[in-house]
């Protein structure tokens, strides 16, 4: 599956990667075309939102009521998938209607199609996992139970990790608009809670505990989503009601600071420099107060004899002036 930013997985999967289903799930459900977070603070808010959304999806009241039930969890996952299949396109469609004043839908065709693919892929994996569980529970053949059971366990880790990933990026809708994941998380959490509030189904809990566990997750998700969108607006000028093409350009990732020095150079400087300190106010390669060790004169030219004479040169030039002042043949 291709995307606007290269391959779906970004080339991160190898054959041995399939031995670790959570690695495969991360590559599949957080594709390479999803833009990275703008700063660590927004990423932390997304993590908090994922935790609160997990509370809304799984239902803490189910655990308190009768213990953790995998079958009921999968039924809730199917229900949530049906809600997402209806709610996500509807919410995005409403925002496209709002954005029509400042942009067109054709400008967002590629990220919209990629997000739809990711949504359908996740729902298909959830349905496949439910079918595997039903096949394992309904079969009496040990070979079928063993083969399908191993596949089911792989798929369980794969889908569970995928649910965490899509809860953070909300099917890659950040590639459409940075504020869409927070909006979709808020709408989904409230839609999951409203039926229980309307019907008064507290799942066997008291009135106080039922209201806390039914309203706690959507209220928390909403508060975190508001903080997330508010930070995007203040720091980067990203507004939910503005078409993505009209938003200001976001800054790219900050490159790491370069090292203070080369790893192979000693901290004292040049390893081939003069071992003695340089002359005060002079050239670091000029002789210091003690003179050049290769020149006999203090601060003199090494090829000119000093006061005591050079040991390898006579005290005067080797060639005497000519005897004939006007040349060898006279003047």
pLDDT at 42: 81
In a domain, 46, yes or no: yes
| Comparison of pLDDT for 1 and 75, the residue scoring more | 75
pLDDT at 3: 42
Give 246's DSSP letter. Answer: G
pLDDT at 331: 47
pLDDT in tens, 171-181: 999 999 999 99
On the CB side of 102, CA atoms within 13 Å amount to 12
Task: With a cut of 90, say whether residue 139 has pLDDT above it.
Answer: no
Q: List Cβ<8 Å contacts ≥24 apart for 76-83.
A: 77/126, 77/129, 77/130, 77/159, 77/163, 78/126, 78/127, 78/130, 80/188, 80/192, 81/122, 81/123, 81/126, 81/127, 83/188, 83/191, 83/192
Q: Taking Cα atoms as reference points, which of 163, 154, 195 lies closest to residue 55?
A: 163
Mean per-residue pLDDT over the chain, rounded: 75
Task: With a cut of 90, say whether residue 328 has pLDDT above it.
Answer: no
In a domain, 181, yes or no: yes
Task: With a cut of 60, say whether residue 140 has pLDDT above it.
Answer: yes
Confidence of residue 109 (pLDDT cuts 50, 70, 90): very high
Q: Taking Cα atoms as reference points, which of 221, 229, 223 lies closest to residue 177?
A: 229
- Could you tell me if 296 and 305 are in contact, meaning their C-beta atoms sit under 8 angstroms apart? yes
pLDDT at 11: 75
Task: With a cut of 90, say whether residue 230 has pLDDT above it.
Answer: yes
Task: With a cut of 90, say whether residue 138 has pLDDT above it.
Answer: no
pLDDT in tens, 22-77: 999 999 999 999 988 888 888 888 887 777 666 655 555 555 555 556 666 777 77
pLDDT at 158: 94
- Could you tell me if 243 and 208 are in contact, meaning their C-beta atoms sit under 8 angstroms apart? no
pLDDT at 250: 73
In a domain, 37, yes or no: yes
Task: With a cut of 90, say whether residue 325 has pLDDT above it.
Answer: no
Averaged pLDDT, 91-108: 91
In a domain, 291, yes or no: no
Angle at 211 between CA 206 and CA 217, to 5 degrees: 135
Averaged pLDDT, 290-303: 52
| Comparison of pLDDT for 297 and 164, the residue scoring more | 164
- Could you tell me if 218 and 189 are in contact, meaning their C-beta atoms sit under 8 angstroms apart? yes
Residue 289, class by beta-carbon neighbours within 10 Å (0-12 exposed, 13-18 middle, 19+ buried)? exposed
DSSP assignment string, 117-154:
HHHHHHHHHHHHHHHHHHHHHH---HHHHHHHHHHHHH
Confidence of residue 1 (pLDDT cuts 50, 70, 90): very low
pLDDT at 298: 47
pLDDT at 241: 92
Evaluate the CA torsion angle 173, 129, 22, 221 in order and state its sign.
positive
Find the domain containing 174 and state its range.
2-245
Task: With a cut of 60, say whether residue 103 has pLDDT above it.
Answer: yes
pLDDT in tens, 68-87: 566 667 777 788 788 889 99
Task: With a cut of 80, say whether residue 284 has pLDDT above it.
Answer: no
Task: With a cut of 90, say whether residue 200 has pLDDT above it.
Answer: no
In a domain, 96, yes or no: yes
Q: How many domains does the chain have?
A: 1
In a domain, 93, yes or no: yes
Give 110's DSSP letter. Answer: H
Per cent of the chain over pLDDT 90 is: 26
Task: With a cut of 70, say whether residue 286 has pLDDT above it.
Answer: no
In a domain, 73, yes or no: yes
Task: With a cut of 80, say whether residue 234 has pLDDT above it.
Answer: yes
pLDDT at 279: 53
In a domain, 196, yes or no: yes
Helix (H) and strand (E) counts in the chain: 8, 2
At residue 113, φ and ψ (nearest 5 deg) are -65, -40
pLDDT in tens, 243-264: 998 888 876 555 555 555 555 5
């Amino acid at each position: 599956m291709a995307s606007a930013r290269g391959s779906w997985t970004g080339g991160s999967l190898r054959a041995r990667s399939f031995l670790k289903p959570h690695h495969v799930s991360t590559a599949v459900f957080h594709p390479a075309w999803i833009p990275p977070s703008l700063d660590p603070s927004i990423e932390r808010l997304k993590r908090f939102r994922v935790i609160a959304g997990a509370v809304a999806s799984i239902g803490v009241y189910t655990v308190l009521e009768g213990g953790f039930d995998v079958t009921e969890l999968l039924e809730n996952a199917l229900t949530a998938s049906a809600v997402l299949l209806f709610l996500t396109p509807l919410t995005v469609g409403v925002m496209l209607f709002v954005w029509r004043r400042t942009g067109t839908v054709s400008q967002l065709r590629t990220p919209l199609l990629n997000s739809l693919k990711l949504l359908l892929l996740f729902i298909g994996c959830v349905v496949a996992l439910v079918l595997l569980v039903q096949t394992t529970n309904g079969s009496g053949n040990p070979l079928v139970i063993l083969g399908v059971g191993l596949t089911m366990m792989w798929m369980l880790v794969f889908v569970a990790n995928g649910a965490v990933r899509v809860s953070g990026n909300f099917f890659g809708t950040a590639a459409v608009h940075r504020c869409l994941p927070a909006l979709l998380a808020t709408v989904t959490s409230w839609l999951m809670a409203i039926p229980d509030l309307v019907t008064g189904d507290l799942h066997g809990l008291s009135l106080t505990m039922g209201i806390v566990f039914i309203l706690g997750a959507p209220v928390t998700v909403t508060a975190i989503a508001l903080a997330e969108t508010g930070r995007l607006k203040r720091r980067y000028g990203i507004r939910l009601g503005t078409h993505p093409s009209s938003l200001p350009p976001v800054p790219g990732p900050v490159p790491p600071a370069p090292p203070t020095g080369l790893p192979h150079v000693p901290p004292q400087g040049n390893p081939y420099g003069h071992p003695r300190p340089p002359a005060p106010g002079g050239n670091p390669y000029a002789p210091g107060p003690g003179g050049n060790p290769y020149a006999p004169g203090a601060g003199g030219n090494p090829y000119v004899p000093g006061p005591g004479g050079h040991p390898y040169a006579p005290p005067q030039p080797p060639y005497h002036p000519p005897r004939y002042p006007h040349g060898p043949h006279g003047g």
